[in-house]
Amino acid sequence: MSNGNKGARDPNVALLIDADNASPEHLDEVLLVLGELGTINIRRAYGNWAKASLKGWGDLSGLHSIVPMQQFDVVKGKSATDMRMTIDAMDLLYRGNVDGFGIMSSDSDFLPLAQRIREDGLPVYGFGTAKTPLSFRQACTRFFDIAALVADQHVEGQTEKQVEERPVDEALLELLGHAYKASERDEDGYTTLSELGQRAKAVSSFATRNYGYTRLSDLLRAMPNFDVKTGPDDRLLVKRLR
């Protein structure tokens, strides 16, 4: 829902953490990426804090100003965390003060929540492991593999040659190829980087950071299948080579 005058400030993002199903070891990377997409004014971690397994989250709550939300296990062996998170997310959505949501979880139970939030026109940024079901990944506006975010920190220290030696991901090549075909191209076969990126994100939870890059232009330059150049109006242009 919209307040009508949000353009004058950074997007207000709510980070909701499924502490029962997410590791505190990756919190720094999540905060770094989500902080680039807006101001994280709402930070909540949900779980049964009586469990010893959540001690790591408890230690970080004060350090990163995360509000611990207690949810006891109503039935033994079954967590009610996802229901509590969903209720709170819908409450925040209807207040109309949030511009986007970050959901840190690998649980497919949050698929309906992501879909519902996006129906109101708000972005959903998912953060989970490689085992996160594809259905939840695709329901997010952008989904980030937290292991790839950690790897991205190491890539920054590599040389350009080392980065370029990465093997081409066939699924990624297919996605970008379809986006290129759907984009408007000039007589030389070039399309704008911005249009290609928008079309890729329109059909997928595509995020360049999942492949170790912060910018789409750097990712494409590392792929021999594309040529990237600067146009006369200083916009970046992309052409599929093979």
Please indicate, yes or no, whether residues 205 and 99 belong to a single structural domain of this protein: no
Residues 6+ positions from 38 with CB-CB distance below 8 Å: 10, 11, 12, 13, 99, 100
Please indicate, yes or no, whether residues 79 and 173 belong to a single structural domain of this protein: no
Tell me the per-residue pLDDT of 214-226, one tens digit each, with 9 for 90 and over.
Answer: 788 888 888 888 8
Please indicate, yes or no, whether residues 139 and 48 belong to a single structural domain of this protein: yes
The label of the residue with tokens 């200083």 reads 234
Closest by alpha carbon to 37, among 140, 159, 147, 186?
Answer: 140
Q: Is the pLDDT of residue 167 over 60?
A: no
List the domain range (segments joined by +) for residue 141.
12-153
Please indicate, yes or no, whether residues 66 and 137 belong to a single structural domain of this protein: yes
Residue 180 and residue 203: Cα distance in Å, rounded?
A: 12
Please indicate, yes or no, whether residues 24 and 76 belong to a single structural domain of this protein: yes
Residue 183 and residue 203: Cα distance in Å, rounded?
A: 13
Res 156: pLDDT: 47
What length is written for the chain? 242
For residue 170, the domain's CATH number is 3.30.420.610
Please indicate, yes or no, whether residues 148 and 185 belong to a single structural domain of this protein: no
Beginning with the edge strand found earlier in the chain, give each strand of the sheet holding 67-70 in spatial order.
67-70, 39-47, 12-18, 100-104, 124-128, 142-145
Percent above pLDDT 70 for the chain: 84
Residue ending a domain, among 131, 153, 175, is: 153
Residue 121 and residue 119: Cα distance in Å, rounded?
A: 5
For residue 109, the domain's CATH number is 3.40.50.1010
Residue ending a domain, among 135, 153, 171, is: 153
For the chain, the domain total comes to 2
Q: Is the pLDDT of residue 150 over 90?
A: no
Q: Is the pLDDT of residue 232 over 80?
A: yes
